[in-house]
Amino acid sequence: MNNQVTEDEKELLNGFSNHEIGDDHLFTGLETPMKKDAFKVSDQEKKKKIAVLFEEIMDVLGLDLTDDSLKGTPERVAKMYIDEIFSGLNPKNKPKVALFENKYQYNQMLVEKDITFYSNCEHHFVPIIGKAHVAYISSGKVIGLSKLNRIVQYYAKRPQVQERLTNQIAEELKGILGTKDVAVIIDAKHLCVSSRGIKDDTSATVTAYYGGAFNTSAKIAELQNYLKL
């Protein structure tokens, strides 16, 4: 029997010894870390590869892949990863947004609150479940309300860190609307905290971005009054 440890296995074991890295909710940057050639492989090919690899994970765990309930799981997981919970990684899925003239001359803040989203923690690939509250003051253009929801969902559907998600939504809205007067608040529960590790099921995480006119105590108080936070 060969008891030698390969270099790959040594690297993996070293990773296990440093398993605390990532538990401190590190925020590495605004952009989601992606390989330069991330989209050279088609979605269909990615699904095939993920299915093969996930089947190997299930086999290592000791699951019986001939069981009727399990044998289709690798393909289901692959489809879910590409078409659903990580679909926000692919720029082709970015929502198309049309702007309209602010003919109503509405110059106060517009708030879309309680946008439910599901994301996944990039440290452990377990769910982040929360609500996003988005506000902006028109600079002459307005956006369809459903598009605010779609922008939140697009950035949520990728492995995430809550701080990055908050800033990505804010930067996207600033670019689309042509204004710095944007606010984003996210209130979320992280299953990497509640279902593993410390196993605290009662805590939640709140992050906020206040840009332009929103970055004053008066506007923050007004917004929070609307949200009843």
Q: Predicted confidence band at 200 (pLDDT cuts at 50, 70, 90)?
A: confident
pLDDT at 9: 58
16 vs 104, residue with greater confidence: 104
C-alpha span between 80 and 185 (Å, rounded): 27
- Which residue do the tokens 């590495």 mark? 28
**Interior/surface letters 66-96, b for 16+ CB within 10 angstroms, e for the rest:** eeeeeeebbbebbeebbeebbbbbbeeeeee
Whether 185 and 152 have beta carbons less than 8 Å apart is answered as no
Using a CB cutoff of 8 Å and minimum separation of 24, what contacts does 192-200 make? 192/121, 192/123, 192/124, 192/126, 195/126, 196/124, 196/126, 197/23
Indicate the class that CATH gives domain 99-227: alpha beta
Q: Which residues contact 93 (CB under 8 A, 6 or more apart)?
A: 87, 154, 157
pLDDT at 15: 58
Whether 182 and 136 have beta carbons less than 8 Å apart is answered as yes
- Which residue do the tokens 């800033």 mark? 167
pLDDT at 1: 46
- SS3 label, residue 197: coil
Mean of the pLDDT values across residues 84-93?
Answer: 97
**Is residue 65 predicted with pLDDT exceeding 90?**
yes
Return the closest-CA partner of residue 142 out of 165, 117, 185, 109: 109
Torsion of CA 210, 148, 169, 182, to 10 degrees: -20
Domain boundaries, the chain: 37-85, 99-227
Q: What is the DSSP string of 15-52?
A: HHHTTTTTTT-----SS----TTTTSS-HHHHHHHHHH
pTM of the model as a whole: 0.88
Mean of the pLDDT values across residues 102-118?
Answer: 96
pLDDT digits (tens, 9 = 90+) for 139-185: 999 999 999 999 999 999 999 999 999 999 999 999 999 999 999 99
**Is residue 84 predicted with pLDDT exceeding 50?**
yes
pLDDT at 16: 55
**Is residue 13 predicted with pLDDT exceeding 60?**
no
Q: Which residues are tagged catalytic?
A: 121-124, 162, 190, 192
Whether 155 and 93 have beta carbons less than 8 Å apart is answered as no
Percent of the chain at pLDDT exceeding 70: 88
Percent of the chain at pLDDT exceeding 90: 81
C-alpha span between 182 and 174 (Å, rounded): 7
User: Is it true that domain 37-85 has CATH number 3.40.1440.10?
Assistant: no
- SS3 label, residue 100: strand
Mean of the pLDDT values across residues 224-228?
Answer: 93
